[in-house]
Amino acid sequence: MIEYLIKEPLWYFSLAVFCIGVLWQLARIIFAAGKTDLSVARGSASGGAWRNVFSRFVPHREIAPRIRLQVIGGYMFHLGLFAVLFFAAPHVHFLENHLLGFGWTPMPHWAFIVAAQFAFFGLILLWLRRMLNSVSRLISTTDDHIAAILTFVVMLTGCLALGSGFHALNLLHLFTVELLLIYFPFSCLMHAFTFIPSRAFTGAWFGRRGIDA
């Protein structure tokens, strides 16, 4: 019964909430009424957008030494999670069999493990830094903590299910994934979809005004 609920109705429900929620949030941002910029353009908006999208991958030299931990932890977590999510063999097979109907070559098992270790280590570093730095702690919201904990729980249950011989552990992992999918569109996790448009928008605004930032 529980297995059926997790594998069938809850899976489709969470997937629907995720897809509709993400699309709704993106549409809300895209169609948000903004004031028309009547100023005379001093530079290229598209150039500024592209520049900002890529330049923000590297921190400014002035602040780099102070945020080294966040940068290293951030890259470790996000790249590790991306690799695990889309290139780990169990995930590729799951996406192929349950969602897409096609698959791709997964990464070798050792690379999967290393990527997972990077993701875990990065997330622990980032969350501890958030908790231990007085400023970060003050500006962190409940949403930030729920998102971090939920992501950690999903990764942990995935780690527990690595043996793949136990159906219950796989179900537990799927259940936590479903919770994450439902929470995702209404949380700071949406930054996975908005960080590029956000950078582009800011960069275009800067570019049009000739701001070199």
Q: Which residues lie near another protein (CB under 8 A)?
A: 69, 113, 116-117, 120-121, 124-125, 128-129, 132-135, 137-138, 156, 159-163, 165-166, 168-169
Closest to another protein by CB, 105 or 134: 134
Closest to another protein by CB, 15 or 67: 67
Closest to another protein by CB, 29 or 162: 162
Min. distance of Cβ 115 from another protein in angstroms? 11
Q: Nearest to residue 78, comparing CAs of 148, 24, 159? A: 148
Min. distance of Cβ 195 from another protein in angstroms? 24
What does the radius of gyration of the chain's CA atoms come to, in whole angstroms? Answer: 20
Tell the residue number behind the tokens 């009424």, with chain if given: 33
Min. distance of Cβ 90 from another protein in angstroms? 12
Closest to another protein by CB, 44 or 117: 117
Contact 172, 160 (CB under 8 A): yes
- Phi, psi (degrees; rounded to nearest 5) at 68: -55, -45
Min. distance of Cβ 10 from another protein in angstroms? 21
The 10 Å CB-count burial string (b at 16+, else e) for 89-111 is ebbbebbeeeeeeeeeebbeeee
